[in-house]
Amino acid sequence: MATWELSTLHKKSAVEKQYWYKDGKMIVREEGYRWGTFTVESDERPLTDEELKNEDGYELGCLDNDQCWELSDLNDGSWAEIETGNDKTSDEDIQEFEDAWEEDSFCGVEEAGWSNDDTEYHFLGPLKLVNTETGEEFLGDEDGE
């Protein structure tokens, strides 16, 4: 089985979306990174040329063969946004979450009673796919560059 590496062609195109819960309330924290890389094991090329263009964004989940993309790295966080995830979450909850995050990141919000129950990863814009065994590259831009 081949190992495939997927990354973005443009910076600030890797997104981590965290879902935090506490007492029926939900907060969504979205963080953008300059670069990110994921890998997957597959006998088949996991994405087509059209999919590599990635015009609508790509969620890094599992493939049709039940193999799942695994996070290798996210580099250089460049922005973060926090929003309410449901109507039970107040502005005060958002402020408490932001203060705890500023104080001690993940540990701070967990100490405040929030639980990170789900995280999604998305790539925006054209993608680069590399077969790590052969070095063959597939690019998602129109020029193939």
Q: What is the mean pLDDT of residues 13-30?
A: 97
Interatomic CA distance for residues 79 and 142, integer angstroms? 28
Q: What is the mean pLDDT of residues 134-144?
A: 85
Dihedral of alpha carbons 105, 107, 111, 117, sign = positive
Give the pLDDT band of residue 25 (cuts 50, 70, 90): very high
Amino acid in position 73: D
Number of residues that this document lists for the chain: 145
Interatomic CA distance for residues 123 and 36, integer angstroms? 8
Q: What is the mean pLDDT of residues 39-45?
A: 95
- Name which of 49, 30, 39 is nearest 7 in CA terms: 39
- What is the average pLDDT score of the chain? 95
Interatomic CA distance for residues 137 and 83, integer angstroms? 37
pLDDT value at residue 65: 80
Q: What is the mean pLDDT of residues 46-59?
A: 95
Asked if the model's pLDDT at residue 143 lies above 80, the reply is: no
CB 40 within 8 A of CB 4: yes
CB 40 within 8 A of CB 72: no
Give the pLDDT band of residue 17 (cuts 50, 70, 90): very high
> Which pTM value belongs to this model?
0.90
Structure tokens at 6: 């997927």
Tell me the C-alpha to C-alpha distance, in Å, between residue 6 and each of 17, 96, 103. 18, 36, 33
pLDDT in tens, 67-97: 999 999 999 999 999 999 899 999 999 999 9
Structure tokens at 75: 């580099």
